[in-house]
Amino acid sequence: QVQLVESGGGSVQAGGSLRLSCVVSGYLGSSYCMGWFRQAPGKEREGVATIDQDGRPTYADSVKGRFTTSRDNAKNTLYLQMNSLKPDDTAIYYCASDSSVRCRNNWATEKNYNYWGQGTQVTVS
């Protein structure tokens, strides 16, 4: 059974930092493109970042320069380091696994991802 489990969310003041983790189990998660999404209250879920199996990331413009995603394939774990957090970053953050090995140009499209975590809340005040 495939599972993605996020952790590391919490409450932080503006300008602070948080590091999210996503542990993948049940399949060779290290072989696939992985993504981070978030959903703020009253808004649609949006793509935050993606990272391919070789560790090459792509970011949404809204987080570029502040967020960094990385992966440890040996540990089947994905990370999202979030710095200089703003109140607009408040959302539930999800990790997801693409059904493709290679990340796509339309990486922020939800239907590309076939496995999702349960989400972790990030609140910035």
pLDDT, tens digit, for every residue of 61-107? 999 999 999 999 889 999 999 999 999 999 999 999 998 888 999 99
Q: Which of 50, 6, 40 is nearest to 24 (CA)?
A: 6
Where residue 2 falls among pLDDT bands split at 50, 70, 90? Answer: confident
Above 80 in pLDDT, residue 29? no
Query: Does residue 119 contact residue 41 with C-beta atoms inside 8 Å?
Result: no
Residue with tokens 């993948």: 24
Tokens read off for 101 = 């090995």
**For 2-6, which contacts have Cβ atoms below 8 Å and span 24 or more sequence positions?**
2/26, 2/27, 2/97, 2/115, 4/29, 4/95, 4/96, 4/97, 4/115, 4/116, 4/117, 4/118, 5/117, 5/118, 6/93, 6/94, 6/95, 6/117, 6/118, 6/119, 6/120
Tokens read off for 84 = 């200089």
The span from the CA of 114 to the CA of 97, in Å, is 6
